[in-house]
Amino acid sequence: MVTTFVATAGLRTGTLSPGRIGAVISRNIGPLRSGPAYWVVLVSGFFEPLFYLLSIGLGVGALVKNITLVDGSVLSYAQFVAPAMLATSAMNGAMAETTFNFFFKFKYIKTYDAMLATPVQPFEIAMGELIWAMIRGSLYTAVFLGIMVAMKLAAFGWAVAAFPATVLVGFAFGAVGMAFSTLMRGWQDFDLLTTAQFALFLFSGTFAPIENYPPAIQVIIECTPLYHAVGLVRDLATGVPDWATVGHAAYLVVMVVVGLWFTGRRLEAMLLK
């Protein structure tokens, strides 16, 4: 008998279709029309970093006054903290979609099972969901940048330059968050993720330059993702990009690629058995 199939060979991925990716994205527009519940979630994700900016940036800023960076430049404390809150906002916005919402669709309402019975392919689902997450994250950051300009925490030109950086931050954290979501066993695992996110938020050079920490801790921080997101956004928002800025961007690009690839593979392995 002719054996046409080899046990280990998976279903082959065909050409990616922008139309199908668009269809995956547009699936998420329906729930937006469904009433206020989703909007409450959407808006709440935005306020958290804003409150931190107001309480710590302005409150603590009144005590700290100015802050001198390693390169000798002097910033007000609020100017220092605001880009970090912006980067955090991009991270939170994207990850809210690709962790909680993604997991819910994946495990509970079986949205992706239904999609995969059509010509839509796993990698197209990963792409579509990530782009949607990025759109949501970008809404937050655009408004946040507007507030920074209004509060004179960033020049308009540099705020415009920082916007694509926040998009990249959203892509990077969205992709990695989605990859993690495919590994989650249940909601309890999300506690770990939330804790990790909060630790990153506190220590990634957000509220103080990392040069204040012991060298060993500095090295660890330099390996973590939000540090690079904050670095990239801060360099642009404060108007002092240099080669390190490119390094930060490269780190985030790797996150996008690895996160997407991993998610596609996991969806394939779990849904196309």
List residues near other proteins by CB under 8 A.
Answer: 1-5, 7, 9-12, 14, 17, 19-20, 22-24, 26-27, 30-31, 34, 109-111, 113-121, 271-273
Q: Which is nearer to other proteins, 7 or 63 (CB)?
A: 7
Backbone angles phi, psi at 74, to 5 degrees: -110, 130
Q: Which is nearer to other proteins, 26 or 195 (CB)?
A: 26
CB 164 to other proteins: min, Å = 28
Q: Which is nearer to other proteins, 118 or 212 (CB)?
A: 118
Q: In the structure encoding, which two tokens stand for residue 213, read together?
A: 């920490």
CB 42 to other proteins: min, Å = 14
Residue type, 109: I
CB 89 to other proteins: min, Å = 25
CB 180 to other proteins: min, Å = 22
The terminus-to-terminus CA distance of the chain in angstroms comes to: 24
Q: In the structure encoding, which two tokens stand for residue 171, read together?
A: 């892509």
Q: Which is nearer to other proteins, 53 or 116 (CB)?
A: 116
Q: Which is nearer to other proteins, 192 or 272 (CB)?
A: 272
Q: Which is nearer to other proteins, 110 or 152 (CB)?
A: 110
CB 188 to other proteins: min, Å = 23
CB 104 to other proteins: min, Å = 9
Q: Which is nearer to other proteins, 24 or 178 (CB)?
A: 24
Question: In whole angstroms, what is the distance from residue 248 CA to residue 262 CA?
Answer: 21
CB 103 to other proteins: min, Å = 14
